[in-house]
Structure 1
Amino acid sequence: MAETISSFWGPVTSTIECCEKNYAYSSYIAEFYNTISNIPTILLAFIGLINAFRQRFEKRFSVLHVSNMTLAFGSMLYHATLQHVQQQSDETPMVWEILLYMYVLYSPDWHYRSTMPIFLFFYGAAFAVVHSFVRFDIGFKVHYVILCLLCIPRMYKYYIYTADVCAKWIAKLYVATLLLGSLFWLCDRVFCKEISQWPVNPQGHALWHVFMGLNSYFANTFLMFCRAQQRGWSPKFVRLFGVLPYVKIEKPKSQ
């Protein structure tokens, strides 16, 4: 939502604005709630990263958690400035992250192991170059949704072949947070004019960030469990502070 308040970053140059008053709390932060709502994603990714390091999971999972953190930082920069160059720091990592998920999901059964990472790397690099010159709007959303849909068949395969009850609950939480987050995002986009007249703005886009932070954590945790099962590491779920689930493994002594 554009405002006439002067800002540190100058006029808005991004192609997308959310249903939040600009510079309502600080001349340095364009969308306050949309900026700080990325903090839970960073914290959850950091917890996942520590667990991956501590138990010596494969490097792909450390990179995955770092990717979540990078995306959250990029989103903070974008919403804090509403500049086009920072919008790229949000949207380009989104594509890179989903390409990384595709690698984690499909690589265990991929016969030509070197071809997948090479293809995904050049695909991500090409997108970054094109995106630096072309201002995508609807095209970016369609492209991103298609990439996400390509991940669904393998996620579902992991779900149906996993007998562990807790793992299935994590997968269901992944789906639930995705649906709830998408609902809040959609309402923020479609009903902004009506929401702006309410006494209190529910900050739908900020809630999208919170739910997607949880969604990413549940996705990573479920995939770590499934991969540990493939490697014969006897995974089980334990809870941090009795609340947040994470995977604990027992590697054979030979590993």
Structure 2
Amino acid sequence: MSSWLPSLPYPPPDQQGFWEPVTSTINWCEEDYYATVYAAEIVNTLTNLLFIWLAYRGLVSCYKHGHDSVFAVAYAGYLAVGFGSLSFHATLKYPMQLVDELSMIYTTCLMAYASFSYSRSTAFRIVLAVSLVGLSLFITLYYHYLQDPAFHQNVYALLTTIIVFRTVFTMERTLRPSLRHSEEKHPQERKERSRGLHEKQVQARLNVRDKAILKDMWILVAFGLTMFLGGFGIWSLDNVYCSKLRSMRRKIGLPWGVLLEGHGWWHLMTGLGGYCYIVWGIWLRHCLNDRQDEYEFVWPRLYSLPEVVQFKAGKPSNNSLENGSAKKTR
């Protein structure tokens, strides 16, 4: 491959850098300081810019479209993850490692609060908030004592799995007509019937609308999980075959060798997966608030970014039933 691709050779290994010495408890497969003395792992550093950009987009969307404030806080946490990871990989310093890894835990706990606190009593929300703060504090102190990255990775994976399953349960129970209790079938039904519409017409319209929303949500969930699991798989290969990958990178040369940086791909893919999860949470919250006809899920192509947007005044909802069939949002 190196015979026909124009490339630059890698510098000799073990380059010295601005942030020496390394104090983090973990180092990655990317060689240190091979591109610049100011960033220990240049690819792992720059790929975190995606987190920062997506967090900015998310915060703007929350402000523009009036999403619940808990999701603005979640995007702020997502932004902290990006800055923390960027600082960690640039310096390989232990304090920056804590900022990177613990911000992931804190943001996940924020999403846990958003998932479990909805429509609960004030007392329950206070107990939940105190419990999650206590859990975050315990993880922080125990991880600082243990200094074992495997502990952080396992806790993060467990928390994320619990939240995803909880959110899927809420989504199905809220939107799947066959899973709703009869007395809960359609909170909007009274509004529709007060306008003189027949009950069966109302039920048909709302069922078609919610099934279309549910289909879009499942596509979003599948895409997000694919990004997460795919990124994890690539990162795992990076860990197992690190020495071989380093040899291949040096054989290929720069800039092509950066395509074999597995942890960088993990950043890009989990960045997209995390963004999709927050968008999913926003859309589900509007559905729980029975505001499906005020918002639209917009995702024209898989290679574009999904977003939940508020309808402009006077614009008809794409979820409304016209001539017996629902318009599609995608």
TM-score normalised by the chain length of structure 2: 0.71
- Whether the aligned pair in 1 keeps the contact of 2:143 and 2:151 (CA below 8 Å) is no
For the Cα contact (< 8 Å) 2:24–2:92, is it kept in 1?
Answer: yes
Structure 1 stretch displaced more, 221-230 or 148-157:
148-157
Aligned equivalent of 1:99, options 109, 112, 126 = 109
State which of 37, 47, 52 in structure 1 corresponds to 2:57: 47
Q: Residue deviations 1:68-93, cap 9 Å, x none?
A: 11001000000000111111111111
Note the C-alpha offset of 1:193: 1.4
Query: Is residue 224 of structure 2 the alignment partner of residue 224 of structure 1?
Result: no
What is the Cα deviation at residue 3 of structure 1? 4.6
Q: Identify unmatched segments of 5+ residues in structure 1.
A: none
- 2:14 alignment partner in structure 1: 4
Output one character per residue of 1:217-240: Cα deviation in whole Å (capped at 9) or x when no partner: 110111100000111222321248
Aligned partner of residue 27 in structure 2, secondary structure: coil
CA RMSD of aligned residues (A): 2.3
Q: Alignment partner of 2:84: what SS?
A: helix
Q: Which amino acid aligns with 1:5?
A: Q
Matched residue, 1:142: 154
Kept in 2, the 8 Å contact 1:74–1:86? The answer is yes
Aligned to 1:116: 128
**Other structure's SS at 1:248 match:** strand
SS of aligned partner of 1:220:
helix
Farther off after superposition, 31-40 or 170-179: 170-179
Aligned to 2:304: 243
Q: 2-side partners of 1:144 and 1:168: how far apart? A: 23
Counterpart selection for 2:236 from 162, 168, 186: 186
SS at match of 1:113: helix
User: Number of matched residues?
Assistant: 251
Task: Name which one, 1 or 2, has greater alpha-carbon Rg.
Answer: 2
Secondary structure of 2:307 counterpart: strand
* Contact kept in structure 1, 2:238 and 2:261, CA below 8 Å: yes
Instruction: Give the secondary-structure state (helix, strand or coil) at the position aligned to 2:125.
Output: coil
Determine which of 227, 231, 247 is the counterpart of 1:177: 227
Q: Which residue number in structure 1 is paired with residue 80 of structure 2? A: 70
**Structure 2: which 5+ runs fail to align?**
1-11, 176-210, 314-330
- Structure 1 pair 122/251, CA: closer, same or farther in 2 (3 Å)? farther
**Normalised by the size of structure 1, how large is the TM-score?**
0.90
Matched, 1:213 2:263: no
Deviation digits for residues 164-210 of structure 1 (CA, Å, limit 9, x no counterpart) = 12222111111111111111111111111121121335111001000
Percent identity reads 25
